[in-house]
Amino acid sequence: MSWISRFLGTQRIPGEALTARQEQLVAGWRQLPDVDLRRSHYRCRYVVIDVEATGGDPDSAQPRAIAALALVDGQIAFRDAWQLVLEEPVAGAHAVPSSMAAAAEPLAASSMVEGLIAFLAFLGKAPLVAYNANYVRRVIRRVLAEYLGVRLQQPWLDLAWILPDLFREVDAGPERLDAWLEHFGIDSIKRHDALSDAFATAQLLQIAMAHAASRGFDTPASLRELEKARRHMRQSA
């Protein structure tokens, strides 16, 4: 796709010591202040994440691609997107700082660890959003722990739980992303491509934010409470 640029690099072996510069970059990310989750949806930055991985078990699946796209003040930031592509889970890696508006000039990425440090920098401490977030979160947390020794603890929002509560009239099971995309007329440019699916999920987030705000759930914190309430209700049923 013309809006994805890919940059060749090599994969770092988990457990290798980080260089002093890499340690400094990771330390800088750790020192970033936490985001105020009580701010309005329309005054904050969300990051939507999607992964492609080798299997259904998030504790053993190897990522083939990690993609992230920002939603800033309620708008999809097409030039605020990031992707790491692993054509071979063991052999090689591509780090992709990308623009969805136009292809960028190739930039060198020396290693998997460099790509993941860039990923942390892209995330900042923003609230994270995914569809079926449990899978995405566990893959991301495991990879960051293996390569960087980082525990990613910032809040996640799962649209697979939030959407059914906001749109109870829609007959779509929690695993059926395609059903939600079809219901809202959202076209995925390339289904099962991490960045394309992140873009589609970001559009769902925009819809969820607008509907939630009309019901008084107008902050990331309130969406977390909405999700927790639905999970509790499902577990108690």
Q: For a pLDDT cut of 90, what percent of the chain falls above it?
A: 65
Other beta carbons within 10 angstroms of residue 13's beta carbon come to: 11
Q: Average per-residue pLDDT in the chain?
A: 83
63 residue type, one letter: P
pLDDT band per the 50, 70, 90 thresholds, residue 97: very low
24 residue type, one letter: Q
pLDDT at 110 over 70: no
Give residue 13's pLDDT: 46
Q: Which two three-digit tokens encode residue 68?
A: 């992230």
Q: Find the range with the poorest average confidence among 101-110, 120-129, 160-169, 170-179.
A: 101-110
| pLDDT average, residue stretch 66-89 | 87
Q: How far is CA 186 from CA 25, 68, 77, 82, 222, in A?
A: 37, 18, 17, 21, 25
Give residue 189's pLDDT: 73
Is 7 or 122 the better-scoring residue by pLDDT? Answer: 122
Q: What is the pLDDT of residues 48-71, one digit of tens each?
A: 999 999 988 999 988 899 999 999
pLDDT at 131 over 50: yes
Domains annotated on the chain, with CATH:
8-236 (3.30.420.10)
Q: What is the DSSP string of the chain?
A: -TT----EEBPPPTTPPPPHHHHHHHHHHHTSPPP-TTS-GGGSEEEEEEEEESSS-TTTPPEEEEEEEEEETTEEEEEEEEEEEEEETTTEEEEEEE-SSS--------BHHHHHHHHHHHHTT--EEESSHHHHHHHHHHHHHHHH-----S-EEEHHHHHHHH-TTS---TT-HHHHHHHTTPPPSSTT-HHHHHHHHHHHHHHHHHHHHHTT--SHHHHHHHHHHHHHHHHH-
Q: What is the DSSP string of 143-201?
A: HHHHHH-----S-EEEHHHHHHHH-TTS---TT-HHHHHHHTTPPPSSTT-HHHHHHHH
Q: What is the pLDDT of residues 10-53, one digit of tens each?
A: 344 455 689 999 999 999 999 999 999 999 999 999 999 999 99
